Amino acid sequence: MKLDTVLERSDSSSLLGEIVALRTHTSMRAKGVSQCRGSHYQFVAELDAKAEEWHMVTDQGQRWSAVDGMLSVEPEPPHEVDFPSGMPTEVQMLHPEAFLMWGRGGGESFYPMLIQEIGRRSLLITFEHVEDPALRATAVINGTTGIIEKMAMLGDVTILTEVEFGVQLDSGRQPEFLPITTDWIQPNY
């Protein structure tokens, strides 16, 4: 990985390959919080990349899932979709190659332009818009798991607060969401 160096767009595919290579797990569950347009919500996201299945539920009762190639977003009827299409950001964080920010063309309007080490085990990736270099997003990648633990883009921030690996997915899961007692979630980089 080219650290602390401005990357060329042509570096994007090799960087994504290096990020994906960090992953040693196929199934995981994450709890987190997302702040979007002045409000926030908690969520639980589950992913089994090998089975190409994922589920997500929020503290507001919203549910999304993809099982056997069928995407369900309540209250709409299920429809066919190819994995990983249809994943919300929270699930994409568990499967970084699903993000449309790696400069692969085909409508991806961002590309990674800088990678830096932060903390003891994390990588901070800065993404730049292909048409507007002042428009940027950042992602914190766990250097041992290859998942995105924090994503910040256009004022929206999503943070994973707990991650479990090797879990059995459960689409009927009714997670308990505890009140958020702080206005700042401490980073664990």
Question: How do residues 70-93 score in pLDDT, each as one tens digit?
Answer: 999 988 899 999 999 889 999 999
- pLDDT at position 188: 81
- Residue 117, pLDDT above cutoff 90: yes
Q: What is the pTM of this model?
A: 0.92
Q: Phi and psi dihedrals of 37, rounded to 5?
A: 50, 45
Mean of pLDDT values over 18-27? 91
Q: Strand pairing partners for 72? A: 65
Query: What are the tokens at 87?
Result: 């994943």
- pLDDT at position 180: 79
In the chain, the domains with their CATH numbers are 9-165 (2.50.20.10)
Per-chain mean pLDDT for the chain: 91
Q: What is the dihedral of CA 173, 176, 181, 183, to 10 degrees?
A: 10
Confidence of residue 171 (pLDDT cuts 50, 70, 90): confident
